[in-house]
A = this chain, B = another copy of it.
């Protein structure tokens, strides 16, 4: 069974998954990079526990879905920004099909290393169907941002949510667990494995 899973989704102690004011200069919002320092630690090695969780987000994953804001800073029509090819350079680290949710059509964008970005304009269910086909029996990974994860949570389409709780305070920005009401009913922690840097939590709907 092809699962839809979120991996290594970092949130601050006060619940924010991105800082305020996302832009080309601040892709994760102001201060948001502090949520990801455990992935790219400065001057020290990543812990084995953190490594293992990061690998779980790659092993057995055959396709990725992400929101448009995770793909880039462009917010309206592509227009002059049609040369934007993502944050990841010429060879993105996905190496499979990536469905980008957007209201603005654009032709598929094949990149080096096997990644092709598909711009899906007919909704989250269509994107999931397309990603499942592309994954060919493997799992589909759901990227961010917050709005995208919330949409799939609300639709009951998400199977697993792996959070990394990072011991920083952001004070403002985008909160993952906001306005979800009873959407979280039945979701429980199935694994709690802290590293020296963050607390890893795997949540599933039981």
Q: Complex Cα distance A11/B199, Å?
A: 14
A196 contact set on B, CB distance < 8 A: 192
Assuming the contacts A13-B177, A177-B13, A199-B199, asked whether A167 and B184 have C-beta atoms less than 8 A apart, the reply is: no
Please, what's the 1-or-0 string for A12-54, where 1 marks a CB less than 8 Å from any CB in chain B? 0111000000000000000000000000000000000000000
Partner of A177, one of B169, B187, B188: B169
Assuming the contacts A165-B165, A167-B201, asked whether A14 and B15 have C-beta atoms less than 8 A apart, the reply is: yes
Interface size class on chain A is: 20 to 34
Partner of A180, one of B163, B165, B171: B171
Please, what's the 1-or-0 string for A183-206, where 1 marks a CB less than 8 Å from any CB in chain B? 011011100101111010101000
Does A181 belong to the interface (CB within 8 Å)? yes
Q: Is the beta-carbon distance between B203 and A184 smaller than 8 angstroms?
A: no
Binding site for B on A (CB under 8 A): 11, 13-15, 163, 165, 167-169, 171-172, 176-177, 180-182, 184-185, 187-189, 192, 194-197, 199, 201, 203
